[in-house]
Amino acid sequence: METAEVKKSTRYLTCCKMLEGEVFRLYNNVIRKMNRPELSIIVVALAQDSLKHSKIIQELFKPITKTDLELEQCHGDIVKVCQEINNCLDALSSVEFISDDMLPDFLKDLANLEDCVYEIYSFFLESEMLENFVRGASYLMPITKENLTFIINLMMEDNLRHRDMLIEDVYFFKKNKLKNTEAKAPVVKYQNPDSWISY
């Protein structure tokens, strides 16, 4: 029989699965609006990892009674992150594509999102919810505190790697943009034998 503590930890992980679904949805929208193939291929990889995380959590729940939740019932931090995702989606819906001027700030926002998701998993590991979930699920499947910690840590490592990749993308983009600007030769027009006009 599930205790209130087990239900709380199950709800938290259910909300994490919902959050990963929202992150996946955001990344898919970014891919469609991005005009830079060299950067969008990175975002495709990030989207696939979010989908993978969602499926991992789903596997954890297979033997457990399904928990139906509305987003508003989730932990406050998860709700806040989902609201930020919705703000990003609203911003995306108002543009045909992500312009070069928007891109660096947008990539930084995605890096911050990965930090937030990392913190949400970190909170789960540091709280009593980890042990409570294991206690409730261990009689249904072969799960221990150690292997669940290992699984959550792997997902958190993905979040850190995603953040670093997005920050590197910002530097890569800025560096290439600067290089392209410097590489443009001035347009010169002949005016008379003694002078030239530069544009």
The answer to whether 136 and 6 have CB atoms below 8 angstroms apart is yes
Q: According to the 3-state scheme, what is the secondary structure of 98-132?
A: ECCCCHHHHHHHHHHHHHHHHHHHHHHHHCCHHHH
Class of domain 4-198: mainly alpha
pTM score of the predicted model: 0.85
- The dihedral formed by the CA atoms of 105, 109, 110 and 111, expressed in degrees to the nearest 10: 100
pLDDT means per 10 residues in the chain (199 residues)?
81 95 96 90 96 94 76 93 95 92 92 97 96 88 93 98 94 74 48 49
Spans of all domains in the chain: 4-198
Q: How far apart are CA 31 and CA 193, in angstroms?
A: 52
Burial of 7-38, coded b for 16+ CB within 10 Å and e otherwise, reads ebbbbbbbbbbbbbbbbbebbebbbebbebee
Q: pLDDT at position 196, please? A: 44
The answer to whether 10 and 2 have CB atoms below 8 angstroms apart is yes
Residue bearing tokens 């930090």: 115
